[in-house]
Structure 1
Amino acid sequence: MGIMGKEEKSSAENNAESEKSKKIDDEQKLQYGFGFRHVQVLLIFTCLTIAYAQRVNMSVAIVAITDRNSTNPDFPEYEWDEKQKSMVLSSFFWGYVITQIPGGQMAKHFGGKIMLLVSITLCSLLCLLTPIFAAFGWKAVVALRVVQGLCQGCIFPSTHTLLAKWAPPSERGTIGTYCYSGAQFGTVVMLAVSGVLASSAMGWPSIFYLSGVFGLVWAILFMFYGSSSPADSRDRISSEERHFIETSLNTTGDAKIIKTPWKDIFTSSAVISLVIAHSAHNWGFWTLLTEIPSYMKSVLHFNIKQNALLSALPYFVMMIMSFILSPFADWLTNKRILKVEFSRKLFNTIGLWIPGVALIALAYITSQTQSSLAVGLVTLAVGFNAATYLGFQINHIDLSPNHSGTLMGITNCSANVMSIIAPLLVGFILNDASDPLQWRIIFFIAAGVYFFGNLQFIIFGKASTQPWNDPDAHRKRNDTIEGVENPAMEY
């Protein structure tokens, strides 16, 4: 009997080990296999591709609109001076900053799906109308771009709201980066094809027609396949994948809407640090994005086709870098080689300080003979910027999954004030666009902002879930620690 008992016990232990091993294997298949959450990643990636294509199309198109000789001469040319062009380029952000915080709140209450759907649909329709508005003058284009900005102001807060529902912590860096790399892909595609389109038989209006039509096609697809959360996808997602996501996020799928703790958010040192880091990033990023086409044309003397392709190259490199860095960052944290907070600060440093050094070097490029070096430095500055996706960008969800959309709205609102100021400052400084010394001032300012923004993030940034994320759960945890379940109290 004793021998039989041992054999039965051994058999039970083996069965338990087998079940445990099977469970781990199943979780690994869910973690590394393709699931419905990856369909959402693909849709969000495409959404941001289109959003950025519609956002940056004016950066190259404005060169064609104001210089008939560089494109198809059969289409109208409008005489806008440098300050008027700067107004057109910055006007998108005037509306964009207004809807950031309301967009985060609406995404929390109505779901990220409906907000993305409405935003892209309206913005795409307005994009189709851009050539008509241009005929009425630069002020009409400014007004249209402001409304487009209002529409797109909801996109990032809604995206963060969706990521908080769909991205398990073990995949947060990878999924978040893959989604946001759509911004670079949209930038690459639009900058690369804009020059070709402007010189084609369809002329510069086709730049806006193409990005508008693609936006409407995406909206139809997202209407049928997009979802705000695993709980809203019961008929499409497997029960195993839904359980994996909700268990890892510690949610039930029927989560209550927690009141936004405005006072705690605005007095949090971690949030203030995040606002500054995000603002510093936007200053440098949008200075490069909106002004590099003009820099290449005026200082390096590239024609519009060369300009478009070379302007796209840095964002292509940025996209590739994001695909390389994101799984590496998740591997480092999942293997516990790096703590999450250290990882966020390390990659944010890579994403801001390396571009800052590149901008300082770029400031000393003074002639066309050094054009290859200039292109290399711009590519370096923009390419390594991808690391910020694993720094401040995903840090919103670290601090508060429940309010990540609202946090993104707050930081993106502040950050995009920089997106307004930066092009306007360029217009103020740049009296002669062909003067390398004036560009040197612009690049030095951007490098200084990058340096300070990351330095304070290293000092004050955090990556732990804050108590105000869910006050009730935090209170229960504290009660448990202070009660009999706390071993220290039992003694």
Structure 2
Amino acid sequence: MTLTGWRRVLNKVMIIPQRYVLGIMGLFALGNSFTMRVCLSMTITQMVLHAETSEHIIGETCPDPNSVISNSTDDENNTVSVIFTGRDRYDWDEATQGFLLSAFYYGYVATHLPGGLLAEKFGGKWTVGLGLLLTSVATVLTPWAVSVGGAVGLFIIRVIEGFGEGPVTPAFVLLLARWAPPAERSRFGAMIFGGAQVGNIFGPYISGLLLANGGDWANVFYVFGGLGIVWFIFWVLLCYSTPNSHPFISEEEKNFLNKNITASGLHKKLDPVPFKALLRSAPLWVLILAAVGHDWGYFTMITDLPKYFSDVLKFNIKETGLMSALPYIAMYICSFIFAGLCDLCVKKKWHSIGTGRKIYTTVSSTIPAIFIILASYSGCNRLWAVGLFIASMAFMGGFYSSVKINAMDIAPNYAGTCSAFVNGIAAISGIITPYLIGLLTPDQTVGQWRIAFWTVFAVLVGTNLVYVIWGSGEPQWWDDVDKYGYPPNWKHGPLKKRAVDGEKKVVYPKHDHSPVAND
């Protein structure tokens, strides 16, 4: 059968709308990308040498119910137990571990903007696919890199993994701008970007199972890297950059999307990115600041929560995997609840898109910050600590209805580049927070961790306040100069090389700073 024949067959048998196929594959993409991103948080607890003392300082460290220490060499309760598995372990202190945990984000930050530009030029399909393929192959090679180069080898391979994942978020934001009508954006944002929570759930849990009973930590990297390679094959076969380039989408769905998608880039070739205006856009910089705040708290949780459960609350490795997964189960479920509420309220016109973004940014920043602080004051009470961390991450589910998709609102045509700026700069938090926490918690005491959590609280609440005051949900004039024209105070030259005569007059209503075209 010819390729055209196969396409006709697929057109008939594909009952699910192709935008939902994209959403499901996007969910798997983000899920697998996060398993590869966070698996080191679990495996590093088994890669390092643990010299655990039986000494317990009341009020500063938690007792270890799992420790079995021989009394024959006990000297004033300072006996040390070191446990080994078949693979080598490494003498890395807390600061070094923090540095290694942050290595991924060096590469991740560096490729955000190039990834967004590549997605706008060549399409989101190959930008996402090849990026995650690179990360998958690097993940499989991680045990080899560690055996050859130790900490240096691990740092380099993690940076390479970050290189691959950097383009993923901006490329998916662009894909959503091309595939998701405005009334479905929150839903698709939760479906795809909520896949991160699938990764955060299964990453720690499966890692805990693979590492239990002295399991080889290398198996964690082999499993998750291998799954990424399998995903790439299906992605190439099933997903495309735009509805109009999709070979077996139904005519009904294609017409529906062409009618309802607001991004003009779906129908015509875009002009070069208007960097002059983009870099001067206050709503974009406010969005960046909000994303920095959220990522500060979020990356602290996904990177360091397993260490908190293992080193402070003294869960064993299997329990740590389960306890680390529970908060993300709550976050994943709540992301759909918040997304459904947001889309419903926008559809019913109970509030604007901008108001919705501000509501759920507050839900996903300030409320989690409060629960994180309460968890830090629960001390060694395991039940209270886990419950409060679960509540904190549950409310972070509002992130996918707010900051994560706001770039599509303010710039549907250049959503890839804007998302690259937002997520790339915000991801610097992933570089800072693991190393900072390593410095703040050298002895892994409850008091040291409380200081780290107060830092998270301040950043989350402060950046959220700025966004609530100055954030926007309206398209900016520079996203489509043909439609909106230039603002009266623009003094930086035309954004396009061609003449701008005959453009529509621009009027700024008093209640809104967004341009509205007048014929």
**2:419 equivalent in structure 1:** 408
CA distance in 2, matches of 1:201, 1:345: 47
* Unaligned runs of at least 5 residues, structure 1: 1-32, 483-488
CA distance in 1, matches of 2:251, 2:199: 34
Aligned runs of 1:321-360 on 2, under 5 Å? 321-360=334-373
Q: Is residue 194–residue 335 contact of structure 2 (8 Å, CA) maintained in 1?
A: yes
CA distance in 2, matches of 1:327, 1:123: 32
Change (3 A) 1:414 1:272: same
Aligned runs of 1:65-144 on 2, under 5 Å? 65-67=47-49, 73-135=85-147, 136-144=149-157
Q: Letter of the aligned partner of 2:449 in structure 1? A: W
Say yes or no: does 1:166 pair with 2:179: yes
Say yes or no: does 1:364 pair with 2:397: no
CA distance in 2, matches of 1:77, 1:360: 34
Q: 1:478 aligns with which of 504, 508, 511?
A: 504
Aligned runs of 1:192-211 on 2, under 5 Å? 192-199=205-212, 203-211=216-224
Q: Is residue 258–residue 470 contact of structure 1 (8 Å, CA) maintained in 2?
A: no
Q: Is residue 160–residue 404 contact of structure 1 (8 Å, CA) maintained in 2?
A: yes
Q: Output the aligned Cα RMSD.
A: 2.0
Q: Letter of the aligned partner of 1:116 in structure 2? A: V
Deviations 1:199-257, CA, capped at 9 Å, x for gaps: 26862111000111110101100111110000111x31111111111111144844212
Say yes or no: does 1:376 pair with 2:387: yes
CA distance in 2, matches of 1:166, 1:394: 13
CA distance in 2, matches of 1:371, 1:198: 22
**1:457 equivalent in structure 2:** 467
* Unaligned runs of at least 5 residues, structure 2: 1-14, 51-80, 486-501, 509-517
CA distance in 2, matches of 1:148, 1:253: 31
Q: Is residue 309–residue 315 contact of structure 2 (8 Å, CA) maintained in 1?
A: yes
Q: Letter of the aligned partner of 2:97 in structure 1? A: K
CA distance in 2, matches of 1:104, 1:355: 30
**1:448 equivalent in structure 2:** 458
Change (3 A) 1:70 1:108: farther
Identity %: 32
**1:9 equivalent in structure 2:** none
How much has 1:309 moved relative to structure 2?
A: 0.5
How much has 1:108 moved relative to structure 2?
A: 0.2
Q: TM-score of the superposition, structure 2-length normalised?
A: 0.83
Q: Letter of the aligned partner of 1:398 in structure 2? A: D
Say yes or no: does 1:35 pair with 2:17: yes
Aligned runs of 1:311-326 on 2, under 5 Å? 311-326=324-339
How many residues were matched structurally? 448
**2:446 equivalent in structure 1:** 436
Q: Letter of the aligned partner of 1:438 in structure 2? A: Q
Say yes or no: does 1:217 pair with 2:217: no
Q: Is residue 70–residue 304 contact of structure 1 (8 Å, CA) maintained in 2?
A: no
**1:306 equivalent in structure 2:** 319
Q: Letter of the aligned partner of 1:473 in structure 2? A: K
Q: 1:229 aligns with which of 223, 232, 242?
A: 242
Q: Is residue 230–residue 237 contact of structure 1 (8 Å, CA) maintained in 2?
A: yes
Q: Is residue 70–residue 303 contact of structure 1 (8 Å, CA) maintained in 2?
A: no
Q: Larger helix proportion, structure 1 or 2?
A: 1
**1:392 equivalent in structure 2:** 403
Q: Is residue 297–residue 460 contact of structure 2 (8 Å, CA) maintained in 1?
A: yes
Aligned runs of 1:10-49 on 2, under 5 Å? 34-49=16-31
**1:146 equivalent in structure 2:** 159
Partner of 2:414: helix, strand, or coil?
Answer: helix
